[in-house]
Structure 1
């Protein structure tokens, strides 16, 4: 029988620094909830909004897969590997921190906020050479289809990471349904509603709600309104 966990949007930890508003699905920084430390290999899911011209100063990471998905605006990136890039709306960025790296991110535009998801996944291989990648998220061939944006395979669509994880993004029209099959035995899926309302196997979800499901082969998503959803398929044991 499938196991599930529901995280309503309003139950997330909130850090409001004025220039930064960050909602934490899982324990992060000063927000700690012993029941919400991670979902399997998924360690961090932060929903960030940074005001114009502001950002995160240079800071270190190691042995973590760090993913950013731009939802609105443009995020400027610089790192110790020499990468200088702008992550635009509709793009995904990944860093394998490995043996260690420094990076900084800030809002490229002075007059408007940037909104993005910051996601951390535990790697299955430690102390790798740090790496960076960034791609534009492709549109589906047909409406109401999921698009793979991340996998363990460098030859697959989207970016890749050092973990048996698959991310899919879907823009769904009201009334449409999509079936999802868990990619690997002992994986689970964490469903995050970026916009709109939907149901997962009958469980109603609203904007920015999260829903984890595991010990199942798959599930069905039904859009109650036009909706956008992110599915993060990750190992449940790390």
Structure 2
């Protein structure tokens, strides 16, 4: 088993007034050659957007882009005609493929929105752009792993063009659980949203990240009530 620890306070940080963003991996003005990506996981941004503000229309291609709201409401529009509002409990995915332009804005003019912006390298290039969003029940992740993303439209959750699986879990203090990897050669990036957990012997705290590879399973123990996001991705692609 190999691991890499990214403590919360080691992340890149950018404050633009309307946007407060923490970057786990190199992004925009944050350039750390030692932290460019974890396997196919390219971007993990922890964003807070002020009321009524947001990212104006801009293009992407050949990237799988996932948004997970943590608080507030996020409004999506794109050049393919898609328009959606996503809230806590929702997951949004956009396969940029051959190219698409989109905007992501705070739908509220009174409250901030907090969300995770995640990019994953695809395993197929130049596909037809695609948008999807789904809502997930909080009770289905209580002391268990709730699958929110997979490589297949016939599996649970939204799907992307990559052999990746994402799970959320809300653990009660003292709860223990194991996660078995779905595909040999994959790794898992664990991001702690809230609380304290120990993962395969490594203590983690709020907003810490841990990459684990060359293993087929991880062991979780909740030291407090905790919420975690697991992103299983290929290590080579």
Partner of 2:67: 68
Shift of 1:140: 4.7
Partner of 2:149: 150
* CA distance 1:100–1:193, shift in 2 (3 Å): same
Q: Distance between the aligned counterparts of 1:35 and 1:143, measured in 2?
A: 35
Partner of 2:110: 111
Shift of 1:142: 7.3
* CA distance 1:142–1:81, shift in 2 (3 Å): closer
Unaligned runs of 5+ in 2: none
Q: Distance between the aligned counterparts of 1:82 and 1:174, measured in 2?
A: 44
- The 10-residue stretch of structure 1 (105-114 or 59-68) with the greater mean CA deviation from structure 2: 105-114
Shift of 1:138: 3.0
Unaligned runs of 5+ in 1: none
What secondary structure sits across from 1:169 in the alignment? Answer: strand
Q: Distance between the aligned counterparts of 1:202 and 1:185, measured in 2?
A: 22
Cα contact 1:19–1:51 (8 A) shared by 2: yes
What secondary structure sits across from 1:10 in the alignment? Answer: helix
> Cα RMSD between the aligned structures?
0.9
Paired residues, number: 237
Q: List, as ranges, runs of 4+ consecutive aligned residues in structure 1 with deviation greater than 4 Å.
A: none
Partner of 1:137: 136
What secondary structure sits across from 1:94 in the alignment? Answer: strand
Partner of 1:4: 3
Cα contact 1:138–1:147 (8 A) shared by 2: no
What secondary structure sits across from 2:134 in the alignment? Answer: strand
Cα contact 2:46–2:116 (8 A) shared by 1: yes
What secondary structure sits across from 1:193 in the alignment? Answer: strand
Partner of 2:42: 43
Cα contact 2:141–2:170 (8 A) shared by 1: no
Q: Distance between the aligned counterparts of 1:214 and 1:203, measured in 2?
A: 14
* CA distance 1:30–1:156, shift in 2 (3 Å): same
TM-score (norm 2): 0.98
* CA distance 1:141–1:193, shift in 2 (3 Å): closer
TM-score (norm 1): 0.98
Cα contact 2:77–2:83 (8 A) shared by 1: yes
Partner of 2:204: 205
Shift of 1:167: 0.2
